[in-house]
Amino acid sequence: MHLGNDYFVKTKDIIMILEYKEAVANEETSLFLKSVFHKDLSDGAPKSIIITQEDETQKAYYSPISTRTLQRRGNTQEFLDDAFLLKEKRGI
């Protein structure tokens, strides 16, 4: 999935997508975000935070793309993955 600034992560690695303003306003979430590796892809204007689990490491990506757009991309990708697997099973 494209997160912004020509950066991609595997959809299967995404644990959650958070609204930036809500996430940083929550004390527990802010503490969690400070404790994990993070990468700012937003040039200082994040709209969302994408949490991934890559191998044994959790990472937070600050994205300029809204949560709604990212969720739509994720749903589209799941649909495309399912369609591809169905074609493979049918031998198409």
Per-residue pLDDT of 29-73, as tens digits, reads 999 999 999 999 999 999 999 999 989 999 999 999 999 999 888
CA distance 5 to 58: 20
CA distance 22 to 14: 19
CA distance 8 to 40: 13
Q: How confident is the model at residue 92 (pLDDT cuts 50, 70, 90)?
A: very low
Q: Which domain holds residue 68?
A: 2-90
CA distance 66 to 87: 32
Rounded to the nearest 5 degrees, what angle is found at the Cα of 43, between the Cα atoms of 3 and 27? Answer: 80
What domain count does the chain have?
1
